A and B are shown apart, each in its own frame.
Chain A
Amino acid sequence: MDEIFNSPYYPYLPPLIASVLIILLFPLIAGYIVLLERKVLADLQVRLGPMRVGPYGFLQPLADAVKLLLKEDIIPAAADKWIFWGAPVLSTFTALTAFAVLPLSDKFFVADVNIGILFILAMSSIGILGLIFGGWSSNSKYSLLGSLRSAAQMVSYEVPLGFATVTALMIAGTLSMQGIVHAQQEQGLWFAFGNYGLMLVPAVVFLIAGVAETNRAPFDLPEAESELVAGFHTEYSGFRFALYFLAEYASIFVMCALWVTLFWGGWLRPFPNVGFLEVPLNYGFPILLFVVIGLGCLKGFRRRRMPIEQTVIIGALAGAMFLVAALFAIPAANPYVIGLFWFLLKVFLLVYVFIWFRGTFPRFRYDQLMEVGWTYLIPISIGALIVNGIVFLWTSGS
């Protein structure tokens, strides 16, 4: 054991394990985000959503993955083959690379880079190229129009996104993703509530621009199915389409994680500096949550007569939930998982909000989209930057 710790390669080991874990697990998580999206959307629209594969549609992502992998891989005859081949790879690559600097918790992360947030913004800018290449190389007017729209939209919404980010960075005083969270711990509050509540303005601007940046409803013009069939990935099928899908959900996850890190305290629990809340929030809350989820799984048993394999799946799920609850109850293990718990809880609540937006708001027209971006969001974000800067200088007393 000591040999491993003392070897000169040891510093590379934890990041390597973390990145392999992320790359292996994220496609599965993305699949389950898709299932969550279908289920929540169904709830909002008074439907049931997927119910057939596994109990209450629980195994649907696996069936979808098998379907996508077995589909015929078609490259249109008129397509520019090499660019067509490379575009989804580029999109997926950039989306997954952004995970390298995400601070999933203070213990579990790949790298703490001192320009972390610049790295994420740069990667998401390169990711646009994947969409443009895909739309261009397909040699289809729907794809081309979709990619034109997405390019214009993502470029124009990157400006307010950047300004909102800069506002948070100004308060944090660092570009490192870990450092931003540590700054929030030192100041004792999440940045969304900083500056006497003035920071809520850039937080909201960041949310709106983030929804637009990830091409989600109500800003999903690049893939407006009523006008453009499917936008830039109209001609893609099978595994390439799956890659685009993976990239889309990865960028949603990254955008949510960025919002949580910048404005909602990353892996910090609510009231991170109030000592007496540590036991109820770090031990009580997660245990209660997972036990309640486990009991909810068990409740699925009695609903109706079901085949044995479904009973087994539900039982395994409930058992897993109780095991996770037990994990949080062990004092030695708790500090290692509690950061991850709070971070993922916040991120998934935000993913839910994204889906909620999709279920609520109708799509913008193209000129409305540009109007919201250029005449409202950009001036508001610049104004918020200036006002927050003045207030911050004033109150910090320097």
Chain B
Amino acid sequence: MRELLRSVFLVDLLKGLWVTFRNQKPSLIYTEEYPKDRPAVAERFRGAPRLNVHPDSNETLCIACNLCALACPEQLIVVTSERNEETRRKELTNFTYDTSRCMFCGLCEDACPVDALELTQDFELAYYTREGAIWDRQMLEEGPLPTEYNY
């Protein structure tokens, strides 16, 4: 009898309608308008690599010790350097970092003795070519430029 009355008065249908009606509060909306609002990532998020420069002199902090390349499990870092005959020190000439193979483990930044190599909070690493994912020294020092969208 109960079952019959339930189906005659369409109770289940009305219940379903109430569930959807209840859930249309704007505060429940889960959508992120991504390119407009970028999500705040965690403080220790490991994203795009960056090669730090000295803030005053704009010279690289990297001493070309090659420890990051040795630490990298994927062996995607290539450090090239040449010895300066006057100061008898190694100077960095180029630094390539293949982001397409990187798994963002952070071992390179841990290995760096001078805090030159760092994984930043940028996460937009998409490129039009495979070669574009291999970053050279200039790219690593400037960092990826955030894409501007015009609405």
Contacts and interface: CB of A to CB of B under 8 A. Distances in A.
A40 B151 CA distance: 24
Contacts of A360: 16-17, 19-20
B57 interface: no
Nearest to B15: A360
A46 B23 contact: yes
B16 A51 contact: no
Contacts of A204: 10
Contact of B20 (A47, A48, A51, A356): A356
A356 B13 contact: no
A52 B28 CA distance: 20
Chain A interface size, as a band, is 10 to 19
B16 A47 contact: no
B23 A361 contact: no
A44 interface: yes
A51 B28 CA distance: 17
A356 B16 CA distance: 10
A46 B28 CA distance: 6
Contacts of A48: 29, 31, 33
A121 B74 CA distance: 72
B30 A361 contact: no
A307 B151 contact: yes
A225 interface: no
B21 interface: yes
B29 A47 contact: yes
Interface string B53-90: 00000000000000000000000000000000000000
Contact of B30 (A40, A46, A357): A46
Given A48-B33, A51-B33, A52-B151, A359 B20 contact: yes
A227 interface: no
Given A47-B31, A48-B29, A307-B151, A356 B23 contact: no
Nearest to A218: B13
B26 interface: yes
Interface in A39-65: 40, 43-44, 46-48, 51-52
A47 B13 CA distance: 23
A14 to B, nearest CB: 41
Interface string B12-40: 01001101110110101111010000000
A44 B13 CA distance: 16
Contacts, number: 35
A46 B19 CA distance: 12
B24 A361 contact: no
Contact of A44 (B10, B20, B30, B151): B20
Contacts of A44: 20-21, 23-24
A357 B28 CA distance: 20
A357 B19 CA distance: 12
Nearest to A376: B7
Contacts of A47: 29-31
Contacts of B13: 361
Contacts of B17: 356-357, 360
B125 to A, nearest CB: 25
A40 B19 CA distance: 14
Given A356-B17, A361-B13, A43 B24 contact: yes
A389 B63 CA distance: 97
A381 to B, nearest CB: 15
Nearest to B150: A307
Nearest to A306: B151
A198 to B, nearest CB: 14
Nearest to A204: B10
Max chain B C-beta neighbours (<10 A), residue from A43, A204, A359: A43
Interface in A261-290: none
A356 B33 contact: no
Interface string A300-326: 000000010000000000000000000
B11 to A, nearest CB: 13
Interface string A16-58: 0000000000000000000000001001101110011000000
A24 B23 CA distance: 36
B25 to A, nearest CB: 8
A352 to B, nearest CB: 10
A394 B39 CA distance: 69
B66 to A, nearest CB: 47
Given A356-B17, A356-B21, A360-B16, 11 more contacts: A40-B24, A44-B23, A46-B23, A46-B24, A46-B31, A51-B33, A52-B151, A357-B17, A360-B17, A360-B19, A361-B16
8 contacts: A44-B21, A46-B24, A47-B29, A47-B30, A48-B29, A360-B16, A360-B19, A360-B20
Interface of B: 10, 13, 16-17, 19-21, 23-24, 26, 28-31, 33, 151
In order of increasing CB-CB distance, the 8 nearest A-B pairs are: A43-B24, A48-B31, A360-B20, A44-B20, A360-B16, A46-B28, A44-B24, A47-B31
